[in-house]
Amino acid sequence: MTEPPRPPESVPATPAPAVPAVLVQTAQQLRDAALAGTGAFDLVRSLTTEVGPRLAGSPGDAAAVRWGAETMRALGFANVRAEPVKVPHWKRGAETGEILTPYPQAVVLSALGGSPATPVAGLEGAVLEVESLAAMEALAKEAVAGKIVFYSPKMQRANDGSGYGAVVRIRGEGVIKAAEKGAIAVLIRSVSTANNRLPHTGSARTLAGLPPIPCAALSVPDADLLQRQIASGQPLRFRLRLDTQLLPDGDSANVIGEVPGREKPDEVVLLGCHLDSWELGAGAEDDAAGCAVVLETGRRLLALKERPRRTVRVVLFANEEFGLSGARAYAEAHGAEIAKHSLAAESDLGSGRILRFSSRVRAEALPWIEGLSGLLQPLGVERRGNDARGGADLMPLAAAGVPLADLDPDATKYFDVHHSANDTLDKVDAKGLDQAVAAHLVLALLAAEAPMAFGPVDPPERSRR
């Protein structure tokens, strides 16, 4: 398949109007006031303390929906509503793993989201280490059949989180590919940069459906242990026991609130995050932090004497983690007004300071975007290209040609805690959140006030996060 053409990146011959001085001033005031301190950390504290874990379909998820609507009302948002979303409901139970030979030891692991249960007594087999998806593809069926496949590649640390994309496909596709060749179970090295003994879960669900065989993530040190025992050259046998349950679909909701536009209320600048989380931790970094940033941004826009021209809509998406149900439900419910979405951005990479800004707008709007970028510079935000991809919850909108912006935070430490029991409030960077709010205020205000349309644009390649 050929890549869709990218919007041109050069500045067009007809310059767009410069950002008016009065707007520059408002943006600077909003930005600098946010840097001095915001309520964003308190919002993360509230969600993680009063709700905590919120896996799709669980009681915590329902409590989060109530929290989202109540919080939006308390912050002064208009048109607050919870739009219903059906979500899959999967539940974790007891989970154990042990090396039986050559050197018996118990290990620490956690089921991947969607994994079926093993037999009650557990499942036992020889372990086959596989270093990549490509290596799995190259293996003959006979080499895989009846084995427990162990995917061992390590995630690399990077401030843009790029190490995640390099290995995360193993979590979904790797399980399917192993099952296709007759594997009886899959173990993966946790997709994480941590070196503590906590496993990092994540969805093994793919477009093709739920994983057909039991699958679990080993803590990083336990993945190292398996590799060392395998390197001894002796056969490694393993016993896995997972007591998971797939329950009937549950009810959740996209929670939505607005800063109504003063001139073009039907045109929407969307700021998103996801309200659900994995249940091992409190979902503080993933993604209470992102929700706090977009909620606090909305609160500050609501406090302006003169509201922005377009509507700024804050969307707390349902079930990002286990199948993007909220993203799909939003695109369906708002199909008729997708063309009215002027710009969309999602905050879903933790509480670090924003380091980079990318856009995806039509060429005519680029001079305005450069003006916007100039206002981000004092925050230390580097201007990147016109090739933004948007967050996972924006995929349906992005595919429909909605213009996008990415404000990418420093993700150096994010994958130490992501999807693990360690994703708790103490990991959240309050100052990072304030700076992110400052950056989102500049983005939302300038997008909502732009004198030209940003789209339509060519959609990005399908992205995963």
* Catalytically active residues, by annotation: 320
If binding is defined by CB under 5 A, does position 279 make contact with Zn ion?
no
Nearer of residues 112 and 187 to Zn ion, judged by Cβ:
112
If binding is defined by CB under 5 A, does position 346 make contact with Zn ion?
no
Q: Which amino acid is at 310?
A: R
Q: Are 376 and 442 in contact (CB under 8 A)?
A: yes
Say how many residues touch Zn ion, by CB under 5 A: 3
Nearer of residues 287 and 449 to Zn ion, judged by Cβ:
287
| CA 53 to chain CA mean position, Å | 16
C-alpha 16/C-alpha 446 separation (Å) is: 14
Candidate ranges 21-29, 280-288, 297-305, 366-374; the one touching Zn ion (CB under 5 A): 280-288
Q: Which of 286, 406, 423, 434 binds Zn ion (CB under 5 A)?
A: 286
Nearer of residues 279 and 348 to Zn ion, judged by Cβ:
348
Nearer of residues 393 and 449 to Zn ion, judged by Cβ:
393
Candidate ranges 79-87, 342-350, 369-377, 452-460; the one touching Zn ion (CB under 5 A): 342-350
Nearer of residues 287 and 416 to Zn ion, judged by Cβ:
287
Written as one string, the DSSP assignment of 171-214 is IIIIHHHHHHTT-SEEEEE-SSS--SS-----B--BTTBS-SS-
Cβ within 8 Å of residue 295, ≥6 positions away:
40, 43, 71, 72, 75, 314, 316
C-alpha 390/C-alpha 343 separation (Å) is: 10
C-alpha 225/C-alpha 197 separation (Å) is: 11
In the beta sheet, which residues pair with residue 101?
237
In the complex, minimum distance from the CB of residue 248 to Zn ion, in angstroms, rounded to a whole number: 25
If binding is defined by CB under 5 A, does position 287 make contact with Zn ion?
yes
Secondary structure of residue 256 in the 3-state scheme: strand
Nearer of residues 87 and 99 to Zn ion, judged by Cβ:
87
If binding is defined by CB under 5 A, does position 296 make contact with Zn ion?
no
Nearer of residues 283 and 455 to Zn ion, judged by Cβ:
283
C-alpha 237/C-alpha 126 separation (Å) is: 4
Candidate ranges 109-117, 212-220, 345-353, 451-459; the one touching Zn ion (CB under 5 A): 345-353
Q: Are 255 and 72 in contact (CB under 8 A)?
A: yes
C-alpha 46/C-alpha 75 separation (Å) is: 13
Taking CB under 5 A as the rule, which mask of x and - marks residues 53-82 in contact with Zn ion?
A: ------------------------------
Secondary structure of residue 246 in the 3-state scheme: strand
Nearer of residues 202 and 261 to Zn ion, judged by Cβ:
202
Nearer of residues 150 and 415 to Zn ion, judged by Cβ:
415
In the complex, minimum distance from the CB of residue 118 to Zn ion, in angstroms, rounded to a whole number: 28
Q: Which of 258, 267, 285, 348 binds Zn ion (CB under 5 A)?
A: 348
In the complex, minimum distance from the CB of residue 274 to Zn ion, in angstroms, rounded to a whole number: 6
Beta strands 95-101; 237-242: pairing state: antiparallel
Candidate ranges 24-32, 211-219, 244-252, 282-290; the one touching Zn ion (CB under 5 A): 282-290
Q: Which amino acid is at 382?
A: E
Q: Which amino acid is at 464?
A: R
| Closest to 315 in 3D by CA, of 261, 274, 287 | 274
C-alpha 61/C-alpha 58 separation (Å) is: 5
Cβ within 8 Å of residue 374, ≥6 positions away:
none
In the complex, minimum distance from the CB of residue 327 to Zn ion, in angstroms, rounded to a whole number: 12
In the complex, minimum distance from the CB of residue 418 to Zn ion, in angstroms, rounded to a whole number: 8
Q: What six digits make up the tokens of 288?
A: 């209470």
Q: Which amino acid is at 252?
A: S
In the complex, minimum distance from the CB of residue 65 to Zn ion, in angstroms, rounded to a whole number: 17
Candidate ranges 256-264, 344-352, 405-413, 447-455; the one touching Zn ion (CB under 5 A): 344-352
C-alpha 38/C-alpha 432 separation (Å) is: 11
In the complex, minimum distance from the CB of residue 133 to Zn ion, in angstroms, rounded to a whole number: 22
Q: Taken in order 5, 9, 11, 16, is the CA torsion positive or negative?
A: positive
If binding is defined by CB under 5 A, does position 434 make contact with Zn ion?
no
In the complex, minimum distance from the CB of residue 203 to Zn ion, in angstroms, rounded to a whole number: 11
Calculate the alpha carbon distances from 269 to 302, 358, 374, 445 in Å: 14, 16, 20, 9
Neighbours of 461 (CB within 10 A): 11
Q: Which residues 436-455 are close enough to bind Zn ion by CB under 5 A?
A: none
In the complex, minimum distance from the CB of residue 348 to Zn ion, in angstroms, rounded to a whole number: 4
Residues of this chain that bind Zn ion (CB under 5 A): 286-287, 348
